[in-house]
């Protein structure tokens, strides 16, 4: 059963200009592993986190660092949630996330489906 759907689109250049203007955002928004990604991938991770939040109803108080996107070449991206994001997912009964991310022509995008078994 689908619990929620989220989508987000990010202009890569604009996003990176904001990160450069406010360097603390890199630490606030991303886990240590994510912080080293190329610009387009970093913007795509941000779009994914926004889409995850939207799929969960965008409640206040969730930490950006409590949602991570893992990539293994040749496999779909995997959403890992802990802490505040895990608590919201549990509250809604979310068992799994389906994520599609892309970046091309200066735009990064992500679509998330939050699902539960019952």
pLDDT tops 80 at residue 38: yes
In whole angstroms, what is the distance from residue 47 CA to residue 18 CA? Answer: 14
In whole angstroms, what is the distance from residue 100 CA to residue 98 CA? Answer: 7
The SS3 of residue 2 is strand
What is the tens place of the pLDDT at every residue in 46-75?
A: 999 999 999 999 878 889 999 999 888 888
Q: What is the CATH number of the domain that holds 81?
A: 3.90.470.20
Tokens (6 digits) for 112: 């998330």
Tell me what pLDDT residue 71 has: 85
Domain region containing 80: 2-115
User: Which among 76, 43, 49 is positioned nearest to 65, based on CA atoms?
Assistant: 49
What is the tens place of the pLDDT at every residue in 71-115?
A: 888 888 999 999 999 999 999 999 999 999 999 999 999 999 999
Count of the separate structural domains present in the chain: 1
The SS3 of residue 46 is helix
Tokens (6 digits) for 92: 């809604």
What's 105's DSSP letter?
Answer: T
Residue 28's H or E segment, with its range, is helix 24-29
């Amino acid at each position: 059963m689908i619990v929620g759907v989220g989508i987000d689109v990010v202009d890569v250049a604009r996003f990176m200009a904001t990160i450069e203007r406010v360097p603390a955002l890199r630490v606030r928004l991303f886990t240590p592993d994510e912080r080293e990604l190329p610009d387009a991938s970093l913007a795509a991770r941000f779009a994914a986190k926004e889409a995850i939040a939207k799929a969960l109803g965008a409640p206040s108080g969730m930490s950006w660092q409590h949602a991570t996107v893992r990539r293994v070449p040749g496999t779909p991206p995997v959403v890992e949630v802990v802490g505040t994001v895990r608590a919201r997912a549990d509250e809604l009964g979310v068992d799994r996330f389906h994520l599609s991310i892309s970046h091309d022509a200066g735009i990064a995008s992500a679509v998330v489906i939050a699902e539960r078994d019952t």
